[in-house]
Amino acid sequence: MRVILAEDSTLLREGLIRLLAEEGHEVVAAVGTAPELLKATEEHRPDIVVTDVRMPPGHKDDGMRAALQIRECWPEVSVLVLSQYLENRYATELITGTGGKVGYLLKDRVAQVDEFLEALDRVAAGGAAFDPEVVRRLLTRTSHVDPLDTLTAREKNVLELMAQGLTNTRISETLHVSLSSTEKHINAIFDKLGLSGEAGLSRRVLAVVRYLGS
């Protein structure tokens, strides 16, 4: 398979390149920053991207945010995220925002070569692979989650613009997305907030009220 590696540790990056090459995979690009990852993905459209969470330029969650952007812009590209520890802020969004082609492993799992390679193959084939510890921590932290916290970053942007009184068309123009995408995000917001659209009640108004009251 064709792979892009994004890892700012030169030692780990070179080690992964050698491991994947030995397994018969083609590393079409190996980069050390999140912007380089996005550029390489757009250029090569690989089968899968393997990325660290914390990367330059911000050395925080740049790699994770790049992974989410890849899932949105190039959904045909599978994404396997590696992290030293759980980044809860975006991990839930990554895991719940797709039915497959995504994985999240703690870096300790990379030391188990067979498990890493099996996860890589599974994600590239359209499946999912999540470190058991990641799943356990997410379930613990989200057992009493506020429905607003389940919204994706894009859905929150849409809800904020709804609260400003913008129409669907204006929201589409502001976010530079299609009208159908905007309507899809709005329906997802209604579903996640549990707004069923009972007779006489505007789901749009109820969503805005919920947002303003948060």
Residues 59 and 164 in one domain: no
From the list 56, 50, 60, 112, the residue with the least C-alpha distance to 87 is: 60
- Per the prediction, the chain carries an average pLDDT of 85
List pLDDT tens digits, range 129-140.
Answer: 887 777 666 655
**Predicted TM-score of the model (pTM):** 0.64
CB atoms within 10 A of CB 144: 5
Whether 13 and 119 map to the same domain: the answer is yes
90 and 115 share a domain?
A: yes
Q: Which of 119, 141, 163 is the last residue of a domain?
A: 141
> Tell me, what's the pLDDT at 200?
45
Structure tokens at 198: 């009972």
Question: Can you give the CATH number for the domain in which 13 is found?
Answer: 3.40.50.2300
Residues 67 and 41 in one domain: yes
Q: How many domains, in total, are found in the chain?
A: 2
Q: What is the CATH number of the domain that holds 192?
A: 1.10.10.10
**Arithmetic mean of pLDDT, 167-190:** 92
- Domain range enclosing 35: 2-141
Q: Encode pLDDT of 29-87 as tens digits.
A: 999 999 999 999 999 999 999 999 989 998 888 999 999 999 989 999 999 999 887 76
